[in-house]
Amino acid sequence: MKAFLIDLDKCVGCHDCQIGCKDEHVGNDWSPYAKPQPEVGQFWLKVNQYERGARPHVKVTYMPVMCNHCENAPCMKAAKDGAVYRREDGLVLIDPVKAKGQKAIVEACPYHAVYWNDELNIPQKCTGCTHLLDGGHPISVPRCVDNCHVDVITFGEEADLDLDGTEVLHPEWGTKPRVFYRGLPKKFIAATVYDPETKEVVVDATVTATGERGTFTATTDDWGDFWLRGLPDADWMLTIEAGGKTKSLEVSTMEKDLGLGDVALV
């Protein structure tokens, strides 16, 4: 069974995957795999951006999302006449002829990965570039994979991929996605710690976040910065200690990542 592995830790936000998908499918008719994608507005693969933290501790997570080619695909159940089908290799495709008029296929996908084409009156989505996989073209891998220059997206037999420690999107929905992610964003707390008397950053301060979901520690670096990464959503008692001074803050990552800015150690 084919699967995708998307490693967010490697992503630099170039959008080459999104553009490659457009380049392959906009204006090109790959029937019977798929009809052309409209010029704009559909994203069979879309890079979502999440700005996180606060100045000066800001990062952006870039996250490519696409059809999950689910093992329990809700779109297949919503489709009539077998308009959505699974190939032997596991990839889930919409038959553009049979699917005509079937808006329910769009609505069935909880990941919003299926788009409606008003002009053609059909639902459309990622095909896994099956037209390329099946041969007769100069490349034989999905375009998002071929375009990526930093190996964020890999594609192959599920058994051949290193899926250790990966996650899928919304496993609780029971759809059993075949798109696996490494590095899905967890929360961070970051700050620059300084001494207001000497007006110096505090290097090597011990920072501890304690909460119901565990204890996390970090040390401030040469810039006085600490980054507590990989935190679950929780309320925390944050303690900063150095040179006999201690500062405690009640903070929460329930809603968002925290960039606390410059924190005076007093």
The binding site for other proteins (CB under 8 A) comprises: 10-16, 18-20, 22-24, 26-28, 39-41, 47-49, 51, 53-60, 62, 136-141, 143, 145-151, 154, 156, 192, 194-195, 199-201, 222-225, 227, 229, 259, 262
Q: In the bound complex, what is the minimum distance in angstroms from residue 19's beta carbon to other proteins? A: 5
Angstrom distance (rounded) from CA 233 to CA 252:
8
Residue 16: CB partners within 8 Å, gap ≥ 6? 147, 148, 149
Q: What share of the chain is helix, strand, coil (3-state, %, to 5)?
A: 15, 40, 45
Least CB distance to other proteins at residue 22 (A): 5
Q: How far is the CB of 64 from other proteins (least distance, A)?
A: 12
27 alpha-carbon distance from chain centroid: 27
Closest residue by Cα to residue 184 from 225, 239, 229: 229
Determine the Cα–Cα distance for residues 126 and 68; give it in Å rounded to an integer: 9
Question: Which CB atom, from 6 or from 201, has the smaller least distance to other proteins?
Answer: 201
26 or 76, CB closer to other proteins?
Answer: 26
Output 67 or 263, the one with its CB closest to other proteins: 263
- Residue 53: name the closest of 227, 181, 208, 206 by CA: 227
Nearer of residues 111 and 188 to other proteins, judged by Cβ: 188
Tell me the closest approach of the beta carbon of residue 45 to other proteins, in angstroms. 12
| Structure-block tokens of residue 115 | 């788009």
The least distance separating other proteins from the CB of residue 6, rounded to whole angstroms, comes to: 14
Token couple for 77: 């159940």
- Taking the least distance from each CB to other proteins, the nearer of 95 and 146 is 146
